[in-house]
Amino acid sequence: MRNIVLIGFMGTGKSAVGQILARRLGWTFIDTDRRVETKERATVAQLFARRGEEYFRRSEAFVIAEAARKRDAVIATGGGVVLRPDNMRRLREHGWIVSLTAPVDVLLKRLSDGERRPLLRGDVRGNIARLLDQRRPLYRDADVLIDVSVASPERVADVVFDFLTRKERRTIPVRLDERTYPVHVGDGILPLVPVDLAALGAGRKVALLTHRNILRAGGDRLQGVLKSWGFEPVLLEVPAGEQSKSLAYAGALFTRLARGRFDRHSALVALGGGVVGDLGGFVASAYMRGIRLIQVPTTLLAMVDSSIGGKTGINHARVKNLVGAFYQPSAVIADVRFLATLPERELRSGIAEVIKTAVIGDSDLFEFLEEHLGAVLRLDTKALVEVIARCAAFKARIVETDEGERGERQILNYGHTIGHAVEAAAGFRGLTHGEAVAIGMALEARLAQRLGLVNGETVDRQNTLIARAGLPVKLSAVSRQAVWRALALDKKVRDGVVRWPMLVGIGQLRREQEVPDALLAEVLGGQGPRRLRAQPQPAR
């Protein structure tokens, strides 16, 4: 998020409001007058008396230039900071300008020490009116103006948060029959989670489910932010990796919630990738028959896919996601700043899901990726927000149409039929999920081409983009027989036949298509069974 810069006449409460904002956001608070005093080892009044106003303004400009370069800062400025255009230019570059205003009579009451302020000595009221008339046009040149005449500092802070939630987040609604929930996408928006909890009317107790690596990457700040809003966060830490998605860990979490006296008004915040999201969603769905769930995905794959749509699950009897439910979150908050903490391979793995989304339903997104893939890989904030928001919008449309995966939602499995089989054949080692899906997309597109559903140019265009993302497009040294065995377990098998979502064109897919075993064997290599045998397999 951008910094918050508070401007306004002396006595408007910039410091009081700024400290509240900084505490609620978990940010640094900077009072520029105090910084000047520390730098000069003298009070503002002493500087005016000894060196004059011009000297003070030069020292203030130095402090402003330094403060404006900070990140995640609330900056309370002196009343005259607006007099120098360079000051405001620097502050605007990375900050929202919030102007606090009040009429002369209110300021006169607040400035009881007016005689001790260098610019107000003598005719205090007259000097307030004169300076205010001079600066009023400059104070009005702000992103938001707030009259503080009758508002407490806490209420002014609330208004600023209302502004931030509108300006700092791209919001995609997921509209379901019973309710609508938002997917928020932005940079540095994690501190706004309490705003969503408050809007939901959540109780004071909030379970924060995550693992240690996420806490080290900035998630630990969320605990302090929640406390500053009056919530009581309880940290539920699980190990990273699939081993956490088990009945044993779910049972331990139920015990922690019960011992902590969490009730049906409490909330669970799942802060992590797909594992944490799946586990947290399952626990939230089952505890007391359902408590509020906030998904805060920290990987690209989770941001564009698994956190949206309500799929939850844990592994059992060596089967992935065997136990689970559809349980929609109350909100999804995708903060792209977390992506900077990902290993490069994991980021590229997530891009496979982005490409899949573009291929199956958003040709404009595909063209955007062709032009801006380099920016996405460089973690350019603007490009990331655009990509994630578009993917979220597409996933939302699919979920709205088919919440329980009975029809249209099956197209999301493109690349996953072969991809899951490749993962299983590799023993879920050596390949990331995204790499397996990339291979699946390449091979499934080749199947579609052989069936006459799509032309070779389109297949090449897809595979070129996949390769540019640093992802594989060919089946590696994996046992083809193991791939065949895994395909027999696929959930899309019906009456011994796999129903495949098949590529027709960029942004177009056929939902179901039978593929002859002979053709599949030709594309995969190896000898497949005469007929795939259906066996139970849970949803991914």
Q: Are residues 151 and 207 in the same domain?
A: no
pLDDT tens string 505-514: 999 998 888 8
**Under 8 Å between Cβ of 31 and 164:** no
Q: Are residues 42 and 145 in the same domain?
A: yes
Q: Are strands 493-494 and 497-505 parallel, antiparallel or unpaired?
A: antiparallel
Q: Is residue 372 part of a domain?
A: no
Q: Are residues 318 and 440 in the same domain?
A: no
Q: In this predicted structure, what is the pLDDT of residue 490? A: 61
pLDDT tens string 411-458: 888 998 898 888 888 877 788 889 999 999 999 999 999 999 999 999
Question: What's the number of domains the chain is made of?
Answer: 3
What's the chain's average pLDDT? 91
Which residue range is the domain that position 287 belongs to?
Answer: 170-342
CATH number at 486 reads 1.20.1090.10
**Under 8 Å between Cβ of 277 and 297:** yes
Mean pLDDT in residue range 171-182: 93
pLDDT tens string 270-308: 999 999 999 999 999 999 999 999 999 999 999 999 999
CATH number at 118 reads 3.40.50.300
Q: Are residues 176 and 319 in the same domain?
A: yes
The DSSP symbol for 304 reads I
The whole-angstrom separation of Cα 476 and Cα 474 is 6
Q: Is residue 539 part of a domain?
A: no
Q: Give the CB-side neighbour count of residue 366, counting CA atoms within 13 A.
A: 19
Q: Are residues 14 and 75 in the same domain?
A: yes
Q: Are residues 17 and 94 in the same domain?
A: yes
Q: Are residues 426 and 295 in the same domain?
A: no
Q: Are residues 462 and 326 in the same domain?
A: no
Tell me which of 240-244, 401-405, 527-531 is least confident: 527-531
Q: Show the CA angle centred on residue 59, arms to residues 58 and 63, nearest 5°.
A: 115
The whole-angstrom separation of Cα 118 and Cα 48 is 7
The whole-angstrom separation of Cα 352 and Cα 473 is 11
For residue 67, give the nearest of 12, 10, 18 by alpha carbon: 18
**β partners of residue 101:** 147
Q: Are residues 129 and 219 in the same domain?
A: no
Last residue of a domain, one of 140, 166, 192: 166
Longest dimension (CA), the chain: 100
Q: Are residues 78 and 15 in the same domain?
A: yes
Q: Are residues 103 and 191 in the same domain?
A: no
- Computed from CA positions of residues 374, 379, 385, 391, in that sequence, does the dihedral angle turn out positive or negative? positive
CB crowding 245-269: b at 16 or more within 10 Å, else e: bbeebbeebeebbeeeebeeebbbb
The whole-angstrom separation of Cα 122 and Cα 119 is 9
Q: Are residues 79 and 184 in the same domain?
A: no
Q: Are strands 331-335 and 180-186 parallel, antiparallel or unpaired?
A: parallel
Q: Is residue 313 part of a domain?
A: yes
